[in-house]
Amino acid sequence: MGIRGFGITKPQAFEQAAVALTAVVTDPRQVDTQMERHFTCDAPDDELLLVDWLNALIYEMACGHMVFGRFDVTITDHHLSAIAHGEPVVRMKHEPAVEIKGATYTELAVRQMEGNGWVAQCVVDV
């Protein structure tokens, strides 16, 4: 399934890609954002950084049984630090549709669009 985040800045595009990641599993609007999880990632380039960021979230969703609805991302060079806001997954409430196995390099792109804004996208395997 393809996910794509748009933002005025690159970090905002990464944040919106993460919202799209949640949307693969459940409706992000149904997620309470009371709890926080902190993440840091380093990668050789922006595209690998996006994959690392998404895979860090996927890992926390799998092992921590969490879903996230809001994200604060900062990126300096190719170092990302982020706070994800969410809650433990509740089957009756979130009706999670599918487990995400991992973020792939298929259709992977992080680029500045003509005019304003950034796009961050890839396909995730479910």
Partner 1 sequence: MDLNLLSRVSAYEWHIPQKGTMRVPGIIYGDEALIRDMDLKVYEQVVNVATLPGIVQASFAMPDAHWGYGFPIGGVAAFDPQQGGVVSAGGVGFDISCGVRALYTGLRADDITPVNEKLADLLFAQVPAGVGSTGRLHLKPKEMDDMLAGGAQWAVQRGYGTAKDLSHIEEHGCMTGAKPAYVSDQAKKRQQDEMGTLGSGNHYLEIQEVVETFHDPLSEKLGIHSGDILVSIHCGSRGLGHQIGTEYLKKMVVAASQYGITLPDRELACAPIDSPLGQEYLGAMRAAINCALANREIVTHLVRQAFSEIFPQTSLPLLYDVSHNTCKMEEHQIGGRSRRVFVHRKGATRAFGPGHAAIPPDLQAFGQPVLIGGTMGTASYLLVGTKEGMDLAYGSACHGAGRRMSRHQATRQWKGQRVIQELAAHGILIRSPSARGVAEEAPGAYKDVTAVVDAAEQAHLARKVAKMRPLICIKG
Q: Which amino acid is at 103?
A: A
Write the interaction track for partner 1 spanning residues 27-46; mark x where CB under 8 A is met and - where it is not: -----------------x--
62 contacts partner 1 (rule: CB under 8 A) = yes
Q: Residue 9 or 104: which CB sits closer to partner 1?
A: 104
Asked whether 105 and 114 are in contact (CB, 8 A), the reply is no
Task: Give residues with Cβ within 8 angstroms of 32, minimum separation 6.
Answer: 69, 86, 87
Identity of the residue, 35 or 98, whose beta carbon is nearer to partner 1 in the bound complex:
98
Residue 42, beta-bridge partner list = 79
Indicate the residue among 29 and 115 with the shorter CB distance to partner 1.
Answer: 29
Is residue 89 within 8 A of residue 79, CB to CB? The reply is no
Verify binding: residue 126, partner 1, rule CB under 8 A. yes
Among 40, 95, 109, 111, binds partner 1 (CB under 8 A): 95
CB of 28 to partner 1, least distance (A): 14
Q: Which amino acid is at 18?
A: A
Residue 96 CB partners (closer than 8 Å, separation 6+): 25, 26, 67, 89
99 sits near partner 1 (criterion: CB under 8 A): yes
Among the residue ranges 10-18, 70-78, 87-95, 110-118, the one whose residues contact partner 1 (CB under 8 A): 87-95
